[in-house]
């Protein structure tokens, strides 16, 4: 049974204007079988993106192939169920001993991959997104810290990691909460001088990175490089930087 095997009808041209599930038909008062199963499948894919572990080993290999040093950190959330219930634990590292402490000024830029709410986002996009960033940072002669893979982790964990690495600017790539139509969207959060206690208003966000439908790697990396430069110049990230940046701090759908 296929969800979209129907002949063109009144709704077909309207579907070009919205992804909404319009004109689904009826089985009595209920949805037709194919539509019920289509919705259930989309929900299943989204749930799997939330609950299945990410392919951290494959991502680490991909990053090493780019010539990057890779470190691993876990948050204080011991498992997925706790992680979902306790966002505060996902923002704090369990142990940072794997991360070298910078004596004096550290590298210019740090990159943390936090699994967030979508493993699939990282499995699909983490390595090529980091590659696009690395390409721009190298050309801009910015020194890049070892990349840190943080598990059961939210954006805030980057503040602790970035502070220890001593980086000037930190980019956290995080798996965004899956929707029914997109389960593999990556978000990038930029924080100037990361340290514990930074507020969300002190970050800039580039969301919806999931080519081919969402934002592409090159465009996202260009915007992020612009934000890195802007933050270094301004000495701050967040609302103040967003107001100055022609690219905007946020690129939505």
Residues that bind another protein (CB under 8 A): 9-11, 14-15, 17-24, 26, 28-31, 35, 39-40, 42-43, 46-47, 49-50, 84-88, 117, 177-181, 183, 252-253
Question: Has 206 been labeled as part of a binding site?
Answer: no
For residue 56, give the 3-state DSSP assignment.
Answer: helix
Task: Count other C-beta atoms under 10 Å from residue 131's C-beta.
Answer: 16
Q: 43 vs 64, which CB is nearer to another protein? A: 43
Matching residue, tokens 């970050």: 203
Q: 27 vs 105, which CB is nearer to another protein? A: 27
Least distance from another protein to the Cβ atom of residue 180, Å: 5
Where b means 16+ CB within 10 Å and e means fewer, 157-187 reads bbbbbbbbbbbbbbbbbbbbebeeebbbbbb
Least distance from another protein to the Cβ atom of residue 5, Å: 17
Report how far residue 42's alpha carbon sits from residue 48's, in angstroms, rounded to the nearest whole number. 10
Task: Count other C-beta atoms under 10 Å from residue 252's C-beta.
Answer: 9
Q: 120 vs 168, which CB is nearer to another protein? A: 120
Least distance from another protein to the Cβ atom of residue 252, Å: 8
Q: 37 vs 236, which CB is nearer to another protein? A: 37
Report how far residue 207's alpha carbon sits from residue 174's, in angstroms, rounded to the nearest whole number. 9
Least distance from another protein to the Cβ atom of residue 48, Å: 10
Least distance from another protein to the Cβ atom of residue 153, Å: 15
Q: 29 vs 141, which CB is nearer to another protein? A: 29
Question: Has 155 been labeled as part of a binding site?
Answer: yes
Residue 71: phi, psi to the nearest 5?
Answer: -120, 155
Question: Has 176 been labeled as part of a binding site?
Answer: yes
For residue 240, give the 3-state DSSP assignment.
Answer: helix
Annotated binding site: 155, 176, 205
> What residues form the annotated binding site for adenosylcob(III)alamin?
155, 176, 205
């Amino acid at each position: 049974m296929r969800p979209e095997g129907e002949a063109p009808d009144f709704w077909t041209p309207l579907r070009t204007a919205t992804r909404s599930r319009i004109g689904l038909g009826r089985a009595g008062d209920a949805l037709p079988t194919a539509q019920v199963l289509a919705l259930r499948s989309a929900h299943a894919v989204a749930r799997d993106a939330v609950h299945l572990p990410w392919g951290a080993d494959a991502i680490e290999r991909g990053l090493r192939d780019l010539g990057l040093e890779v470190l691993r950190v876990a948050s204080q959330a011991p498992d997925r169920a706790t992680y979902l219930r306790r966002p505060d634990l996902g923002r704090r590292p369990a142990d940072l001993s794997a991360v070298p402490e910078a004596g004096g000024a550290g590298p210019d830029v740090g990159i943390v991959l936090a699994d967030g709410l979508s493993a699939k986002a990282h499995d699909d996009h983490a390595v090529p997104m980091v590659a696009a960033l690395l390409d721009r940072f190298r050309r801009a002669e910015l020194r890049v810290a070892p990349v840190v893979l943080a598990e059961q982790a939210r954006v805030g964990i980057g503040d602790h990691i970035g502070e220890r690495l001593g980086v000037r600017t930190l980019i956290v790539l995080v798996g965004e909460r899956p929707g029914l139509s997109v389960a593999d969207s990556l978000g990038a959060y930029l924080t100037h001088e990361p340290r514990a206690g930074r507020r969300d208003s002190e970050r800039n966000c580039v969301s919806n990175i999931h080519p081919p439908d969402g934002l592409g790697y090159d465009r996202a990396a260009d915007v992020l490089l612009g934000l890195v430069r802007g933050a270094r110049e301004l000495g701050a990230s967040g609302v103040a930087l967003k107001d100055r940046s022609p690219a905007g701090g946020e690129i939505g759908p």
